[in-house]
Amino acid sequence: MSLYQVVNPATGETVSEFPTATDATIADVLARVHESYQSWRTSAKTERSKILHRVADLYRDRADALAAVITREMGKTTAEALGEISFVVDIYRYYADQGPALLADAPLASNTGGTAWVRKAPVGALLGIMPWNYPYYQVARFAAPNIMIGNTILLKHAPQCPESALAMERIFHDAGLPADVYINIFATNEQVAEIIADPRICGVSVTGSERAGTAVAAIAGKNLKKVVLELGGSDPFIVLDTDDLAKVVGEAVGARMENGGQACNASKRFIVADAIYDEFVEQFTAAMASCKTGDPTHPDTSYGPLSSEQAARNLQEQVEDAVSKGATVRTGGRRVSGPGAFFEPSVLTDVVPEMRAFREELFGPVAVVYRVANADEAVALANDTPYGLGASVYSANEELALDVADRLDTGMVWINAPEGGGAELPFGGTKRSGVGRELGPYGIEEFVNKKLIHTPSATKD
């Protein structure tokens, strides 16, 4: 059985398989991606911008076919797959349009005389290690800024996403990107370790589990390589008060059920003030129970299967652990009978620290609701997690909401709105949710050499 294969999680059928790279192939691509950097680094920013615009055009033009691929690979509904591709188009266009200005020289006042400035230069060949849950989007937020910078890329995608990995490589080539500036590799974990250690690789970006990030960071640190780590999250959705509970409940369901609950920045812990807790739980449970899972290609399906049989088993074990220790299942809590990795929309209450569900990330359609007395208790509970990715805070008192936002140990906070995003908005967390930022102006600065240039003359080239 091949490591890289498409197993449709809606049916359990193995659709396609691809061979892993040989050691000779890895040696070859390392040489090629390093060599291509020598010329790509000197290419004009205007040319890079034109290529990224063509990449965006091709994603737009091929959207239906690309959406079908990831629905087959990881179970995303057709509607959500098309939404992901739309976001990808925005990301490539953002860096195509804004990249030259974001990379412009930054003048510095100097007390030593002469003229000083910082030039944002490329650093070299990079390795990207990407996950399955957003196959195109995760790659775009790494690849777009770094191609704009003038870096080159080896891309190792998740083993269950070989078809989308090849489709992305084809798009780059069809858009006119030189062939060896972006190279897809079907590498093993052992080969990845060797790639990171290779002196021709100048940095590594990982989006994935805490376990994967820890392993990669250890190798990168040993070899003095820069890393960007976008890892897990157990994001709080805090409701202190509201003038429109039905609206908040609707947004809470959407925040939990995006991508079938398989998003690192999906809201997973719902922390609700005592005064509205009972009514929130009643409405939220009913709304969650109404979500419909099934064929991800059917327009009436709310969310598809989990990404794999193993993912469904893992989630079931987490729920069963909580229930065995006293958690209350308000709705769901079980696998859906029949073929496929389907799981019922679920709500748990009475979850306490002794349960796995209190500390671990629940990657699927399971929400946990907590009762708190006030804002101080909400902050304490929200911060009582190893993760620190994002959060939402709801209150009619904006001053109170902003105060809570300031006290949260997270990389992102949304006030009176579910967590969202945009190509121009930086994405990233703190604590065990990772290091570094992607997207927006901060995302283009992770893998650049901020080179100081000083000249005694009054004019610079």
Whether 422 maps to a domain, the answer reads: no
> How far is residue 362's CA from residue 342's CA, in Å, rounded to a whole number?
15
Burial of 195 (0-12, 13-18, 19+ CB in 10 A): buried
Domain identity same for 88 and 113: yes
Structural domain boundaries, residue 357: 235-415
Instruction: Tell which residue, 67, 25, 53, has the closest CA to residue 147.
Output: 53
Report helix, strand or coil for 126: strand
The pLDDT value recorded for residue 372 is 98
The pLDDT value recorded for residue 1 is 67
CATH number of the domain that residue 360 is part of: 3.40.309.10
Domain identity same for 169 and 25: yes
Provide the domain count of the chain: 2
Whether 37 maps to a domain, the answer reads: yes
The pLDDT value recorded for residue 378 is 98
> One-letter amino acid identity for 377?
E
Whether 318 maps to a domain, the answer reads: yes
> How far is residue 33's CA from residue 31's CA, in Å, rounded to a whole number?
6
Whether 428 maps to a domain, the answer reads: no
Domain identity same for 126 and 210: yes
Domain identity same for 155 and 253: no
Domain identity same for 79 and 199: yes
pTM for the full model?
A: 0.96
Domain identity same for 203 and 310: no
Domain identity same for 373 and 318: yes
Q: How far is CA 431 from CA 232, 233, 379, 444, 453, in A?
A: 10, 10, 16, 22, 35
pLDDT in tens, the chain (461 residues): 689 999 999 999 999 999 999 999 999 999 999 999 999 999 999 999 999 999 999 999 999 999 999 999 999 999 999 999 999 999 999 999 999 999 999 999 988 889 999 999 999 999 999 999 999 999 999 999 999 999 999 999 999 999 999 999 999 999 999 999 999 999 999 999 999 999 999 999 999 999 999 999 999 999 999 999 999 999 999 999 999 999 999 999 999 999 999 999 999 999 999 999 999 999 999 999 999 999 999 999 999 999 999 999 999 999 999 999 999 999 999 999 989 999 999 999 999 999 999 999 999 999 999 999 999 999 999 999 999 999 999 999 999 999 999 999 999 999 999 999 999 999 999 999 999 999 999 999 999 999 999 998 755 55
Instruction: Tell which residue, 291, 402, 257, has the closest CA to residue 270.
Output: 257
Q: How far is CA 178 from CA 49, 74, 91, 386, 447, in A?
A: 14, 30, 20, 42, 20
> How far is residue 228's CA from residue 445's CA, in Å, rounded to a whole number?
11
Q: Are 390 and 419 in contact (CB under 8 A)?
A: yes
β pairing state of 201-207 and 106-108: unpaired
Domain identity same for 73 and 183: yes
The pLDDT value recorded for residue 185 is 98
Whether 332 maps to a domain, the answer reads: yes
- The runs of H, that is alpha helices, within 223-366 are 245-257, 274-289, 309-324, 356-359
Query: Is residue 264 flagged as an active site residue?
Result: yes
The pLDDT value recorded for residue 2 is 83
Domain identity same for 392 and 438: no
CB atoms within 10 A of CB 286: 14
Report helix, strand or coil for 201: strand
83's CB contacts (< 8 A; 6+ apart) are none
Determine which one of 80, 230, 360, 438 is catalytic.
230
> How far is residue 123's CA from residue 446's CA, in Å, rounded to a whole number?
10
Domain identity same for 201 and 104: yes
Question: Would residue 147 be called left, alpha or beta, if left means φ above 0 and alpha means ψ between -120 and 50 degrees?
Answer: alpha
Whether 113 maps to a domain, the answer reads: yes
Instruction: Tell which residue, 106, 104, 94, has the closest CA to residue 49.
Output: 94
Domain identity same for 203 and 240: no
Instruction: Tell which residue, 231, 239, 205, has the closest CA to residue 386.
Output: 231
Instruction: Tell which residue, 327, 302, 174, 212, has the closest CA to residue 250.
Output: 302
Whether 50 maps to a domain, the answer reads: yes
Query: Is residue 230 flagged as an active site residue?
Result: yes
Domain identity same for 226 and 241: no
Strands (E), 62-105: none
CATH number of the domain that residue 149 is part of: 3.40.605.10
**Which secondary structure element, helix H or strand E, spans residue 40, and what is its range?**
helix 23-40
Q: Are 332 and 344 in contact (CB under 8 A)?
A: yes
Whether 249 maps to a domain, the answer reads: yes
The pLDDT value recorded for residue 113 is 85
Determine which one of 161, 202, 264, 291 is catalytic.
264
